[in-house]
Amino acid sequence: GQSLEQPSEVTAVEGAIVQINCTYQTSGFYGLSWYQQHDGGAPTFLSYNALDGLEETGRFSSFLSRSDSYGYLLLQELQMKDSASYFCAVPDQTGANNLFFGTGTRLTVIP
């Protein structure tokens, strides 16, 4: 089968750094994506890692280690508006056009 494990909740202080981990189990790995979803809103694409290493996009960075079947999303200089759910996702085993989403991590940023 296919599975993606994430912590269900994370709380961090405004201005701090937080790391959201994702471990995956899938056959035929084609990359790890991250999505942000605010309450009542739609998921928004944040990043994609196909190869090992760190990808940086502004305050957000994403890391992948294929040998460890592990990745993380790093959020720096946290802002209140970063409070949201964050999902990691991999292409579905049935077809590379589809995404299989992780369980999601709810990030709460506190003052």
Give contact residues for other proteins (rule: CB under 8 A): 30-31, 33, 41-45, 48, 87, 89, 91-92, 94-104, 106
Q: Based on CB atoms, which residue is closest to other proteins, 81 or 111?
A: 81
Q: Based on CB atoms, which residue is closest to other proteins, 42 or 67?
A: 42
Smallest distance from other proteins to CB 11, Å: 16
- Among residues 72, 27, 19, the alpha carbon closest in space to that of 49 is found at 72
Cβ-proximal residues to 46 (8 Å cutoff; 6+ apart), any chain: 33, 34, 35, 36, 57, 60, 62, 73, 86
Q: Based on CB atoms, which residue is closest to other proteins, 95 or 111?
A: 95
Smallest distance from other proteins to CB 63, Å: 16
Smallest distance from other proteins to CB 109, Å: 18
- Among residues 82, 84, 75, 103, the alpha carbon closest in space to that of 39 is found at 84
Q: Based on CB atoms, which residue is closest to other proteins, 15 or 23?
A: 23
- Among residues 63, 59, 78, the alpha carbon closest in space to that of 22 is found at 63
Smallest distance from other proteins to CB 10, Å: 15
- Work out whether the CA dihedral 39, 43, 49, 54 comes out positive or negative: negative
